[in-house]
Structure 1
Amino acid sequence: MAVSTQPLISVIVPVYNVERYLDQCVESLIGQTYERLEIILVDDGSTDSSGEQCNAWANRDNRIRAVRQCNAGLAAARNTGLDLAKGEYIGFVDSDDYVLPDMFGTLLHNLQESDADLSIISYERENPDGSTYCNAFPDKKIVMTSQEAFAYVNQHGYFYVTAWDKLAKKELFDNLRYPLDAVYAEDSPVTYQLLDKADRIVYDSTPLYRYRMSENSQSHGITDKFAQSTGAMLDLVRTKYPHVEAYAAYGHLESIVGTCNRIMLAHQRKQWAQFERYARTELRELLPMVERKGIIGKSQLLQWKLLATSPTLYGMMYALYKRRHPEIASH
């Protein structure tokens, strides 16, 4: 098939102070085996040389467009890219990450082969010490409905609410943009809406995206935004997909417990007392349904029950666990 007859994929890359990693990111995009790409580099007011690098890349490859805006955050940069995108399909790549050569070709092939609206791939985490990690179940290729997708996204070993492991038909973004008030977890509300709007979704567990863990990747401030997002997701599932409510409840509880963990590690229980009360209420209400469905392990179940009944004791035990296992994320 001639390149000109292939559909155009718009790849949106928000850029902010990533001069160390940007070249590798862009090189991985121009080296894609699927060549009909529109690569939109959105410089979100960088104060290092990232903006100059974006312009240099745009001068080297006519598929690259470099735009600059005043610093407004990741969500605003993604929205700028969406407003400019001319492709039939939309993908995102974070500028401190990179992708393997077949990523967008595989995403598009799977989407077309499955007659899907949304295609999802897996990723491998690259740690600061050079080690890599992927927790996706291997050799999985699943074509699913929205209802099934809400079950999978709330289980470990499948896909996540991130923006950058997906390829979507452009029309899924009609009247849909990233929330500007979200400093953290801005991906999740949009991903949940994409899963709801898509008639058919395909997931491939091949890890073709490389997510770079920097030293401060887990240093987000405490926020209840993700818990709010998963709460809205649970309400949506209850209304439209009640058969998978238990999975949505599990995902919601996991986000709540993760927030509680960060609060306790920061010794801010007093400041977040209202959230802790909310967490205990949600755990007492939803955990029995999750337990009956059999989608939670015994150890995790006991931990969450302890948080619901005695957060002080839970906090002491969690702090001890983190001292012994500092490498484990706080979720």
Structure 2
Amino acid sequence: MTMPSQPLISIIVPVYNVERYLDQCMQSLVCQTYANLEIIMVDDGSTDSSGEKCDTWAERDSRIRVIHQSNAGLAAARNTGLDAAAGVYIGFVDSDDHVLPDMFGTLMRNMENADADLSIVSYAREGLDGKTYCNALPGKKMVMTSEDAFKYVNIHGYFYVVAWDKLAKKELFDGLRYPVDAQYAEDSPVTYQLLDRAERIVYESAPLYRYRMTEGSQSHGITDKFAQSTGNMLELVRRKYPQDEPYAAYGHLESIVGTCNRIILAHKRKEWSGFERYARVRLRNLLPLVEKYGLLSRSQLLQWKLLVVSPALYSVMYRCYKRRHPEISSH
């Protein structure tokens, strides 16, 4: 009696100037306990030895395919991989990160056991000293609808809008690609669409992905793209999952305040004065709903109200706070 074959998973790995980390990433993929993999390395115009390393890995393992292209950015590299993927399921791994041996086995096992369209695990941040930190609530495993998912993606301790801790049925990506005009936060609009399209979603909080905190991890520049994306998410939730509106409003406001915080730290309030005005209007309109449902701590509520009333005082206090706590991200 022959065992049924495992479904093919396509893992898309965008590669750009990561010669220092690429071998660890690829070693973690070829050693996965789930063997039926197609690993698509998209060399996005690397100027270091990353492109040659890709070719070397393809020679070592027949499951690896390499596509070399001119530099077009992370979103374009992911799209190239999606266009080339032959798998029934799609996953992503960033080439400066790595994964634990049973990550894709766990994602697939949960997918099949739950008869789900989208499977999610958690991740741990890995610092320069090798220490790891995960802020997901431990021991969580749940099967959910899209309505449930738009609640949990907007509160802390569960899952996020990143591309690389998920496994999706390929058909969820039909007509869906990453926005190439977004330098940062290109994951979020696609992730929100996946959550909306999937009929059943399974989540396990095991931190099986390792997100490497490199020198530039916290300095993602200033962009209003994530605030725009969460604003679109809020409109989608109002239209299709109105019970989740308080959670979506909280997620949207958090992305707005996070953007304001980065503007403050970069001393660019004048250049971004229009966004600051937008932020104050949104906070004024949505804070009562979020406060009513108890989604804010008292200190967070006071901080956000201060941003509405006096952005200048808020900016002074936030810079003082960051001087005392430089390790905390700018949310």
Which amino acid is 1:34 matched to?
Answer: Y
What's the CA shift for 1:128? Answer: 1.1
What corresponds to 2:200 in structure 1?
200
Equivalent position SS for 2:191: helix
- Write the distance in 1 (CA, Å) between the matches of 2:251 and 2:40: 33
1:101 maps onto 2:101 in alignment? yes
Percentage of matched positions with identical amino acids:
75
Q: Distance in 1 between matches of 2:34 and 2:3?
A: 9
1:158-184 CA distances to partner (integer Å, 9 max, x unpaired)?
Answer: 000000000000000000000000000
In 1, Cα distance between equivalents of 2:117 and 2:56: 34
Deviation at 1:4, TM superposition (A): 7.1
Question: 2:137 is paired with a residue of what secondary structure?
Answer: coil
CA contact (8 A) 1:3 1:35 kept: no
RMSD over equivalenced CA pairs, Å? 1.0
Deviations 1:213-254 (A, max 9, x none): 001111111110000000000000000000010000000000
Task: Map 1:64-213; keep pairs closer than 5 Å.
Answer: 64-213=64-213
How many angstroms does 1:54 deviate by? 0.4
Distance 2:36 2:162 in 1: 24
Q: 1:8 touches 1:87 (CA, 8 Å); kept in 2?
A: yes
Q: Report the CA distance shift for 1:304/1:115 in structure 2 as closer, same or farther (over 3 A).
A: same
Say whether the 8 Å CA contact 1:99–1:208 is kept in structure 2.
yes
DSSP 3-state at the match of 1:5: coil
Matched, 1:314 2:320: no
Contact 1:4 1:36 in 2 (8 A): no
* Whole-angstrom distance in 2 between the partners of 1:268 and 1:65: 43
Letter of the structure 2 residue corresponding to residue 93 of structure 1: V
Deviation at 1:129, TM superposition (A): 2.1
Residues 18 and 298 of structure 1: CA distance in aligned 2, closer, same or farther (over 3 Å): same
Q: Does 1:236 align with 2:236?
A: yes
Task: Note the alpha carbon deviations across 1:291-318, whole angstroms, 9 max, x for none.
Answer: 0011111110110010011111101100
Superposed CA deviations along residues 96-144 of structure 1, whole A, max 9, x for unmatched, are 0000000000000001100100000001110112221000000000100
Aligned pairs (5 A) from 1:49-60: 49-60=49-60
CA contact (8 A) 1:25 1:99 kept: yes
1:242-253 alignment to 2 at 5 Å? Answer: 242-253=242-253
Distance in 2, matches of 1:164 and 1:192, equals: 14
- Kept in 2, the 8 Å contact 1:136–1:157? The answer is yes
Q: Which amino acid aligns with 1:86?
A: A
User: Aligned equivalents of 2:175 and 2:3: distance in 1?
Assistant: 30
CA distance in 1, matches of 2:299, 2:207: 29
For 2:219, the aligned partner's letter is S
- Runs of 4+ residues over 4 Å off in structure 1: 1-4
Aligned to 2:273: 273
Aligned-partner residue type, residue 102 of structure 1? D
CA contact (8 A) 1:16 1:45 kept: yes
3-state SS of 2:323 partner: helix
Q: Distance in 1 between matches of 2:89 and 2:257?
A: 35
Whether the 8 Å contact between 1:3 and 1:36 is mirrored in structure 2 is no
Aligned to 1:22: 22
**2:37: which partner in 1?**
37
Segments of 5+ residues of structure 1 without an aligned counterpart are: none
Deviation readout 1:176-212 (Å, 9 max, x if unpaired): 0000000000000000000000000000000100000
- Rounded to whole Å, the distance in 1 between the matches of 2:266 and 2:35 is 47
Alignment of 1:209-228 (within 5 A): 209-228=209-228
SS of residue matched to 2:179: coil
Instruction: Tell me if 1:287 matches 2:290.
Output: no
Distance 1:268 1:248 in 2: 28
Aligned equivalents of 1:34 and 1:265: distance in 2?
44
Q: Distance in 1 between matches of 2:320 and 2:284?
A: 24
- Code of the residue aligned with 2:134 in structure 1: it is C
Alignment gaps of 5+ in structure 2: none
Cα contact 1:34–1:105 (8 A) shared by 2: yes
Equivalent residue letter for 2:93: V
SS of the aligned residue for 2:155 comes to coil
**Could you state the TM-score of these two structures normalised by the residue count of structure 1?**
0.99
- In the superposition, the TM-score normalised over structure 2's length comes to 0.99
The 2-side partners of 1:45 and 1:118 are apart by: 31
